[in-house]
């Protein structure tokens, strides 16, 4: 680094004769002949310190940088403008302001910080070095360790110029490089550091300059190739080297055969073109150490970026060759470095975009115990969402559970690998404000270099294919970068379901862009082993459709309330689950009484909330919760499980009821919102058999495939699900749909016990209202009562006494089956009404009683009961022993506390008296079949409107079979 040209120095009064005199003094000091003179000079400087301080106390003026000229230079002092080239030197020349007639320095500089342009690389690692102890003994540094020259202007009651060599020193811990200059037997160090908190440019800092000899101007020159012979004229020999040369020439009488020094590049210009190169200088004085004087120097931009080589290669492969398995990733980027002093440096990497093969996705299992690194923990100093983020110099304090890999970087700037870790960034609280992001963080105590790089990860919203981008990377050279993401059951990635060849694609953009072209290296790997030891498949559609299905109640006692559980699971290597359609066994029903619905508005609210918001406050009323759902996702032996809630909801997709499952998708540090899945509950109107059909289950959320492995539904609300009272073998059946659109049949045995312990004694009361004479048409009322806790009715046959006939002439209009199915029966087909009371519902079911067309001789008597559910009771009308019989052959296995059937009389009356009802008793015959196999028969008297006592029902005759 050199400051100023020779004409400027002569104009500012630089005494070159004094400089030459001092150089002569220094040369004599190296030969040991001027020790006393140096002692005198040092003593004189102590006195001059007082004079200088007094002069400056008289007039106080802020320190200013009057002129600054800095940048890479050719040997003729013109700007070096070849991108990636090795300049002849980097020169820095500055001049500070003066007072007292422009003679005395305004203030004494204490610290100087020179900020080199980003991309200016100084690699002192392979340049010979001088030991600190040799530097302390002026003249003992080897000539090969000299890397430049300095011309310093000091105020010694006059402007004195001193020339001194600059040496490459062994740096102390925490510093990548250090240079040294000796003036008056005092070492002035030039400490180098990397601006890891901003643009990763290089700072050169001089600390604690001599206050007794204030610096007013300087001209520093750092050689681009220190070993080049063009610098020999300014190169100084150490005392041992000079002694050896003198002895050789004295002994042999010929010039000393000095071997050439290695032409190793020290400096390399940036590999970016177009922009100007700006060097900033900040100088802090002894008088005002907190306020710096600042100056900048702007030089021409560089050119020739299209001539710079950029030849990266990659290796990328998962840590396993097994399909559909947890996997880490081994990624290696190689960027060859050109150290030819006469060539150009390799282009530095500006942006790396890596796209993993389709099928290699995020593994939800990795969320087990996973944490994330917050902006404060990584030391981010710019706002969230600012992609060009800056970070503090302090080491990262990310939690250990946010570490998902490690990194190793081999750079020519230090003699050992730069090693660090890869951390998962907090969702939304990262430089990109994105769901997925990572940090590469490496701190090297030996060199003091810190590196913090943010990378954005994007998952394809349809396929989950991952693309990671590291943009605006430092303009620092590296030869190898190795990223290793952890393997094991909680590995962050999952391999594809199928076997075959998979290719990782990249787009590497150099800092030479747009003149330099992007590179697109790729690498392929093989997946050649099936999951779980199975055979390889060519596509997911070829994978096995194997599901494990379990379902049943916790207490299999007939008629008992008991929690119901259903579990569906699959193994690695099997087709992914996307939907469930299940049919419960007849008689397995739920008590809806007292359970409010979760409304559509509440479910929409849940879908709009974050998962953590839903966990903190449920959108659905607590009273509507009927159970929970546990969902397992991710490959490997330990899927990640998350729990949701199951709520009773209203009509949905033509079903009278639905089960709404709200699952906060909170997985480790991630919050993917709430997954709301409605399950339409279709109830067979004749059997009350329940079929639950789920909405399509999500297979991907925000680019993260869910990879569902297990779903467990627990309906554990107290006294909600109720067992059948039929102990015959039954089954929970259905089907599961998979991602390729295929279907898997499901079935699990279901059976309850202790049916014989259930009592079965229903009661039926029959009455006629209206005319009692022969040919009258009375109305009929039948009232059935049963006690809760008994077996439910399976069938019933009621035969009326011979006093009642069916008057077919009153059968005018019959509802067809088509009309009934369309809920479009004509009003004239109504011949009565019915109501059913059950402890399962808050309100009774009620509706008209139709005559409906039948395959039998007479039409069927059908009670169309509606309310919260729709139930249809079909009675077959026929004649037995000259009496009218109505048989309900199939009655749902559901508790009914009371059932009231009322048939019309008069003109629409179907019954006609064939005798005077008041002259005799008229017993009916009732046969009941219980769901538990028991039967109960009775002979209730048919009460009527007769006023005489004998015409009224006096009781019933019952017989148990």
- Asked whether the predicted pLDDT for residue 892 surpasses 80, the reply is yes
Segments of 867-910 assigned E as strands: 870-880, 883-888, 898-903
Give dist(CA 29, CA 239) in Å, integer.
10
pLDDT the model gives residue 419 = 97
pLDDT band at 777 (very low <50, low <70, confident <90, very high): very high
- Asked whether the predicted pLDDT for residue 961 surpasses 70, the reply is no
Name residues whose C-beta falls within 8 Å of residue 86's C-beta, 6 or more positions apart in sequence.
224, 225, 265, 266, 267, 268, 269, 341, 345
pLDDT the model gives residue 429 = 97
3-state secondary structure of 6: helix
Per-residue pLDDT reduced to its tens digit, 530-561? 987 778 898 889 999 999 999 999 999 999 99
What is the bridge-based pairing of β-strands 640-649 and 657-667? Answer: antiparallel
Residue 49 is given by DSSP the state H
Q: What is the mean pLDDT of residues 287-305?
A: 93
Give dist(CA 519, CA 671) in Å, integer.
36
Q: What is the mean pLDDT of residues 405-420?
A: 96
* Nearest Cα residue to 944 out of 834, 926, 915, 862: 915
C-alpha radius of gyration, the chain, whole number: 47
The whole-chain average pLDDT of the chain stands at 91
Give dist(CA 172, CA 132) in Å, integer.
9
Which tokens in the block code for residue 847? 């509706």
Give dist(CA 636, CA 494) in Å, integer.
9
Give dist(CA 220, CA 208) in Å, integer.
18
Give dist(CA 296, CA 280) in Å, integer.
4
Q: What is the mean pLDDT of residues 67-80?
A: 96
Which tokens in the block code for residue 181? 């200059």
Which tokens in the block code for residue 50? 């007082």
DSSP string, 597-613: PBPHHHHHHHHHS-HHH
Name residues whose C-beta falls within 8 Å of residue 676's C-beta, 6 or more positions apart in sequence.
603, 606, 607, 660, 661, 662, 663
Q: How far apart are the first and last CA of the chain?
A: 115
Q: What is the mean pLDDT of residues 430-446?
A: 96
pLDDT the model gives residue 29 = 36
- Asked whether the predicted pLDDT for residue 478 surpasses 60, the reply is yes
CA triple 872-960-797, angle to 5 deg: 30
Report which secondary-structure segment, H or E, holds 23. helix 16-30
**179, 39 in Cβ contact below 8 A?**
no
Angle between helices 16-30 and 35-58 (to 10 degrees): 140
Give dist(CA 703, CA 682) in Å, integer.
33
pLDDT the model gives residue 33 = 29
- Asked whether the predicted pLDDT for residue 502 surpasses 70, the reply is yes
pLDDT the model gives residue 5 = 34
Which tokens in the block code for residue 503? 């290719």
Q: Calculate what percentage of the chain has a pLDDT beyond 70.
A: 92
Per-residue pLDDT reduced to its tens digit, 106-148? 999 999 999 999 999 999 999 999 999 998 877 789 999 999 9
What is the bridge-based pairing of β-strands 89-96 and 215-223? Answer: antiparallel
Per-residue pLDDT reduced to its tens digit, 593-637? 999 999 999 999 999 999 999 999 999 999 999 999 999 999 999
Per-residue pLDDT reduced to its tens digit, 780-826? 999 999 999 999 999 999 999 999 999 999 998 999 999 999 999 99
Report which secondary-structure segment, H or E, holds 405. strand 403-410
pLDDT band at 55 (very low <50, low <70, confident <90, very high): very low
- Asked whether the predicted pLDDT for residue 28 surpasses 60, the reply is no
* Nearest Cα residue to 3 out of 141, 194, 163, 199: 163
3-state secondary structure of 572: coil
DSSP string, 229-275: GGGGGGPPPPHHHHHHHHHHHHHHSS---PPPPP----EE--S--SS
pLDDT the model gives residue 6 = 31
Q: CA torsion sign, 136 to 139 to 143 to 149? A: positive
Q: What is the dihedral of CA 888, 891, 897, 898, to 10 degrees?
A: -30
- Asked whether the predicted pLDDT for residue 487 surpasses 50, the reply is yes
pLDDT the model gives residue 642 = 96
DSSP string, 537-565: -SSGGGS----EEEEEESS-BTT-B--EE
- Asked whether the predicted pLDDT for residue 268 surpasses 80, the reply is yes
Residue 424, CB-side half-sphere exposure with 13 Å CA sphere: 24
Q: Which residues of 277-294 are buried (b: 16+ CB within 10 A; e: fewer)?
A: bebbbbbbbbbeeeebbe
Q: Calculate what percentage of the chain has a pLDDT beyond 90.
A: 83
- Asked whether the predicted pLDDT for residue 58 surpasses 60, the reply is no
Give dist(CA 801, CA 175) in Å, integer.
112
- Asked whether the predicted pLDDT for residue 944 surpasses 80, the reply is yes
Give dist(CA 664, CA 255) in Å, integer.
86
Give dist(CA 615, CA 52) in Å, integer.
73
Name residues whose C-beta falls within 8 Å of residue 336's C-beta, 6 or more positions apart in sequence.
311, 346, 479
Residue 366 is given by DSSP the state G
Number of neighbouring beta carbons within 10 Å of residue 632: 20
What is the bridge-based pairing of β-strands 883-888 and 793-799? Answer: antiparallel
**Size of the chain in residues:** 961
**520, 311 in Cβ contact below 8 A?**
no
Per-residue pLDDT reduced to its tens digit, 714-764? 999 999 999 999 999 999 999 999 998 999 999 999 999 999 999 999 999
pLDDT band at 27 (very low <50, low <70, confident <90, very high): very low
Largest CA distance in the chain: 164
pLDDT the model gives residue 62 = 86
Q: What is the mean pLDDT of residues 267-276?
A: 95
pLDDT the model gives residue 60 = 52
pLDDT the model gives residue 18 = 38
Report the range of poorest mean pLDDT among 12-21, 383-392, 400-409, 887-896: 12-21
Q: What is the mean pLDDT of residues 908-930?
A: 92
Residue 40, CB-side half-sphere exposure with 13 Å CA sphere: 6
């Amino acid at each position: 680094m050199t400051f100023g040209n020779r004409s400027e120095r002569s104009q500012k009064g630089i005494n070159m004769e004094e400089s030459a005199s001092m150089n002569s003094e220094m040369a004599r000091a190296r030969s040991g002949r001027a020790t006393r003179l140096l002692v005198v000079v040092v003593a004189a400087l102590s006195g001059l310190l007082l004079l200088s301080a007094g002069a400056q106390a008289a007039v106080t003026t802020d320190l200013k940088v009057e002129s600054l000229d800095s940048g890479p230079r050719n040997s003729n002092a013109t700007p070096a403008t070849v991108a990636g080239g090795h300049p002849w030197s980097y020169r820095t020349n500055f001049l500070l302001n003066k007072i007292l007639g422009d003679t005395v320095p305004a203030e004494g500089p204490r610290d100087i910080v020179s900020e080199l342009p980003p991309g200016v690389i100084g690699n002192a690692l392979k340049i010979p070095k001088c030991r600190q102890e040799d530097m302390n003994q002026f003249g003992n540094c080897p000539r090969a360790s000299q890397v430049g020259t300095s011309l310093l202007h000091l105020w010694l009651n006059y402007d004195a110029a001193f020339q001194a060599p600059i040496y490459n020193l062994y740096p102390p811990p925490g510093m990548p490089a250090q240079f040294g200059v000796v003036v008056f037997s005092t070492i002035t160090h030039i400490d180098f550091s990397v601006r890891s908190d901003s643009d990763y440019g290089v700072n050169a800092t001089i600390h604690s300059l001599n206050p007794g000899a204030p610096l007013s101007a300087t001209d520093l020159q750092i050689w681009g190739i220190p070993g080049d012979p063009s610098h020999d004229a300014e190169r100084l020999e150490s005392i041992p080297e000079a002694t050896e040369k003198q002895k050789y020439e004295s002994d042999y009488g010929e010039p000393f055969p000095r071997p050439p020094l290695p032409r190793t590049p020290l400096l390399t210009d940036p590999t970016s073109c177009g922009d100007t190169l700006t060097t900033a200088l900040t100088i802090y004085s002894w008088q005002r150490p907190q306020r710096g004087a600042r100056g900048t120097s702007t030089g021409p931009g560089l050119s020739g970026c299209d001539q710079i080589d950029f030849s990266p290669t990659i290796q990328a492969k998962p840590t396993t060759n097994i399909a559909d398995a947890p996997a880490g990733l081994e990624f290696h980027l190689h960027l060859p470095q050109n150290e030819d002093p006469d060539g150009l440096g390799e282009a530095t990497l500006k942006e790396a975009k890596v796209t993993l093969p389709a099928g290699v996705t995020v593994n939800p299992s990795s969320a087990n115990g996973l944490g994330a690194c917050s902006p404060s923990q990584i030391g981010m100093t710019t706002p969230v969402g600012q992609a060009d983020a800056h970070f503090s110099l302090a080491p990262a304090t990310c939690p250990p559970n946010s570490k998902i890999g490690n990194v190793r970087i081999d750079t020519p700037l230090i003699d050992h690998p730069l090693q660090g870790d890869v951390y998962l960034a907090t969702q939304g609280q990262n430089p990109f404000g994105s769901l997925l992001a990572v940090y590469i963080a490496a701190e090297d105590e030996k060199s003091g270099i810190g590196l913090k790089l943010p990378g954005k990860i994007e998952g394809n919203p349809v396929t989950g294919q991952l693309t990671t981008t590291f943009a605006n990377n430092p303009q620092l050279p590296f030869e190898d970068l190795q990223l290793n993401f952890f393997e094991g059951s909680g590995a962050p990635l999952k391999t594809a379901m199928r076997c075959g060849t998979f290719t990782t694609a990249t787009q590497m953009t150099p800092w030479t862009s747009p003149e330099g072209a992007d590179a697109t290296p790729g690498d392929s790997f093989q997946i050649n082993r099936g999951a779980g030891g199975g055979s390889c498949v060519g596509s997911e559609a070829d994978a096995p459709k194997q599901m494990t299905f379990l379902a049943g109640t916790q207490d299999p006692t007939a008629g008992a309330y008991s929690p119901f559980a259903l579990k569906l699971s699959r193994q690695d290597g099997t087709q992914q689950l996307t939907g469930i359609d299940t049919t419960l066994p007849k008689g397995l029903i739920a008590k809806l009484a007292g359970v409010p619905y979760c409304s559509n508005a509440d479910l929409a609210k849940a879908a709009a909330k974050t998962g953590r918001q839903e966990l903190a406050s449920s959108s659905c009323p607590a009273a509507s919760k009927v159970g929970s759902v546990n969902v397992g996702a991710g490959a490997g032996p330990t899927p990640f499980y998350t729990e949701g809630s199951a709520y009773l909801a209203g009509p949905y997709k033509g079903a009278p009821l639905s089960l709404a499952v709200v699952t906060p998708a909170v997985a480790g540090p991630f919050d993917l919102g709430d997954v709301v899945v409605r399950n339409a509950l279709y109830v067979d109107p004749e059997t009350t058999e329940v079929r639950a059909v789920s909405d399509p289950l999500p297979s991907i959320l925000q680019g993260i495939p869910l990879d569902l492995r297990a779903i467990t539904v627990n309906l554990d609300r107290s006294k909600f699900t109720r067992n059948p009272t039929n102990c015959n073998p039954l089954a929970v059946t259905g089907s599961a749909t998979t991602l390729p659109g295929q279907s898997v049949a499901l079935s699990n045995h279901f059976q309850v016990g202790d049916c014989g312990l259930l009592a079965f004694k229903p009661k039926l009361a029959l009455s006629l209202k209206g005319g009692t004479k022969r040919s009258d048409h009375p109305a009929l009322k039948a009232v059935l009562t049963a006690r809760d806790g008994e077996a439910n009715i399976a069938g019933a046959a009621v035969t009326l006494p011979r006093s009642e006939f069916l008057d077919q002439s009153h059968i005018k209009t019959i509802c067809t089956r088509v009309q009934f199915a369309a809920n479009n029966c004509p009003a004239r087909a109504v011949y009565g009404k019915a109501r059913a009371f059950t402890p399962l519902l808050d309100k009774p079911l009620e509706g008209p009683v139709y005559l409906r067309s039948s395959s039998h001789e007479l039409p069927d008597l059908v009670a169309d009961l509606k309310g919260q559910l729709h139930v249809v009771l079909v009675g077959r009308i026929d004649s037995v022993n000259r009496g009218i019989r109505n048989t309900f052959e199939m009655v749902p296995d559901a508790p009914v506390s009371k059932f009231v059937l009322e048939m019309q009389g008069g003109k629409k009356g179907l019954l006609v008296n064939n005798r005077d009802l008041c002259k005799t008793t008229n017993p009916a015959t009732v046969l009941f079949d219980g769901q538990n196999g028991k039967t109960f028969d009775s002979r209730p008297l048919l009460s009527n409107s007769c006023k005489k006592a004998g015409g009224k029902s006096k009781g019933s005759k019952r017989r148990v079979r």
